[in-house]
Amino acid sequence: MHRFLCCCFFLLASTITAPAQDAPLPPVKATEAMKLPEGFRATVVGAEPQIVKPIGMTLDDRGRLWVIESHSYPHWLTEGKEGTDRILIFDDRKGAAEPCKVVWDRGTNLSGIAVGFGGVWLCATPKLLFLPLAP
Cα 75 to Cα 9, 57, 135: the distances in Å are 27, 21, 34
Convert the pLDDT of each residue in 88-129 to its tens digit. Answer: 999 876 655 567 899 999 998 999 999 999 999 999 988 899
Are 99 and 118 contacting, i.e. CB atoms less than 8 angstroms apart?
no
Task: Determine the structural domain holding residue 67 and report its residue range.
Answer: 2-132
Question: Amino acid letter at 119?
Answer: G
Convert the pLDDT of each residue in 38-55 to its tens digit. Answer: 999 888 888 888 899 999
Q: Total structural domains in the chain?
A: 1
Q: pTM to 2 decimals?
A: 0.75
45 half-sphere exposure, CB direction, 13 A CA radius? 29
